[in-house]
Amino acid sequence: MKNGMKMVAGGAVLAGLLASCGSVGGTGDGSASLYVSDVKTEYRTADGTYVGCDNVSNTSTPSQTTVATTFTLAGSISAVNVNLKGNSNGDYDNNYNATFYPGDITNAGAQSYKATFVADSSLPNSTGFLPQSVHPQGIVVNPNTTTYVKLVTTDSPQGSFRSVVTVTSTTGQVISGTANRTIPVYSGCNVISTTTETL
């Protein structure tokens, strides 16, 4: 078992976040607190909307979508799970989740952390929402390469999802939070340019 990670965020910081988007909560014993700030993908439209794509043309990875979820943690954390939740039926996609341990998440500054993973819709059992439910082997935690956001055009909307983060503290307490940003999913996207923005 990997060692727990110690995350510290001042009470004033978390209190200020209560009025912001995302969700804030703490465990009953005070061992951990969580604020889910955002979820983005590597694809976005010209109007600034981040989207999920089941199939992408004009790219070398047509079945893959990189997703990044950012969150603030406080307390002593043993594991963080990131899952997707469909907005149309409220179901979780049990084949599309990733568990992160202390060495897996990236410090994004200002006591914020980022969990990044790649989903591949071409793998077996691909049914559901973004980017069509993927087999667990289709998730790569913390890809080693820098991912640049790409501008795309879209067709055939398929639904949408939010990112759900569940934290387990070293005392065994569990707390969950959901990002407010909704990611619309399309059956097809076409890359028209690559920006200098990193995911």
Cα 186 to the chain's mean position, in Å?
Answer: 17
What pLDDT score was predicted for residue 142? 52
Phi, psi angle pair for 57, to nearest 5°: -100, 160
Tell me the C-alpha distance between 187 and 191, whole Å.
Answer: 14
Amino acid at 117: F
pLDDT of residue 102: 65
Determine the Cα–Cα distance for residues 124 and 19; give it in Å rounded to an integer: 42
In this prediction, residue 121 carries a pLDDT of 65
pTM value is 0.76
Burial class (CB in 10 A: 0-12, 13-18, 19+), 28: exposed
> Which of 53, 50, 54 has its CA nearest to residue 38?
50
Six token digits for residue 93: 């996609």
pLDDT in tens, the chain (199 residues): 233 333 333 332 333 333 334 556 777 787 888 999 999 999 999 999 999 888 899 998 887 888 888 888 888 888 888 887 777 665 555 556 778 776 677 666 656 788 887 766 665 544 444 443 333 444 445 555 788 999 999 998 888 888 889 999 889 999 999 999 999 988 899 999 999 999 8
Identity of the amino acid at 155: D
